[in-house]
Amino acid sequence: MFEILMMILNRSANRVEANKMYTMLESVTAEEADQQPPPRVVNSHYPPRYLPLEGMRAKQIKTVLCIRNPKDIAVSYYNHAKGVKTYDYDGKWEDWLQVYLQGKLEYGKYCEYLLEWQREVKNGPGFPLHVMFYEDLKMNGREELDKLLKFLDIQLDEQLKNDIIDKCGFKKMSEEKGSDKIFDIYCKPGFNFFRKGQVGDWKNWFTVAQNEMFDKIWEKETKGQDMFKFKYTYTDA
């Protein structure tokens, strides 16, 4: 999403040199964020309550909320925790799944994150907000790019749109961005920060019993969450 937005704002499909990690609110000070050169895309995994909502409303900051199905997130998060040095984690998948469901992580429960965003949207966030699903980007990137461009009120020619989708495909991102030296600092040897990016990889990890347990807990804890409907397997658009 960061790469797509930067290419849109730069009106170019040239690979972005900046690393997203240096644009994360969790990783930089307010002063460092303010010093980033335009065009500026600020990233965060924070729930709404930790975002500068008053400033976003006052300045009408265009905001893109990109979300992914909770099962693939669990798998991705597990591998992320095992591969990034600062977590210092080497546990088993079956143990991690319990930790994930209980929300004993730095951002808490994903279901609560979604419920909080739903409240913001239904109450009216007060700033322009566009919701995108990772699965839709994977399955029909051009259509999703057109929706995003409409939200941003930016027009690009057809060739540039095709080039952006091609450049931001997961395979090319992994090949061209995965060798960034910053990952040598943060990641364990042999870990590829761009791991798979697949829709439905959770099926390679969840047992039948784990999947049933997950569905039961998720249904209970997301009661009232009717805004975000996820796709759990890949289908042709």
What is the set of active-site residues? Answer: 45
- Taking the C-alpha atoms of 84, 90, 93 and 95 in order, what is their torsion angle to the nearest 10 degrees? -120
Secondary structure of residue 142 in the 3-state scheme: helix
Give the residue from 32, 15, 12, 14 showing the smallest Cα distance to 24. Answer: 32
Q: Is the dihedral of CA 25, 27, 32, 35 positive or negative?
A: negative
Secondary structure of residue 128 in the 3-state scheme: coil
Pairing status of strand 63-67 against strand 129-133: parallel
- With beta carbons less than 8 A apart as the criterion, state whether 120 and 48 touch: yes
Can you tell me the distance from the alpha carbon of 201 to that of 69, in angstroms, rounded to the nearest whole number? Answer: 11
Secondary structure of residue 153 in the 3-state scheme: coil
Contacts of 82 (CB under 8 A, 6+ apart): 89, 90, 91, 188, 191
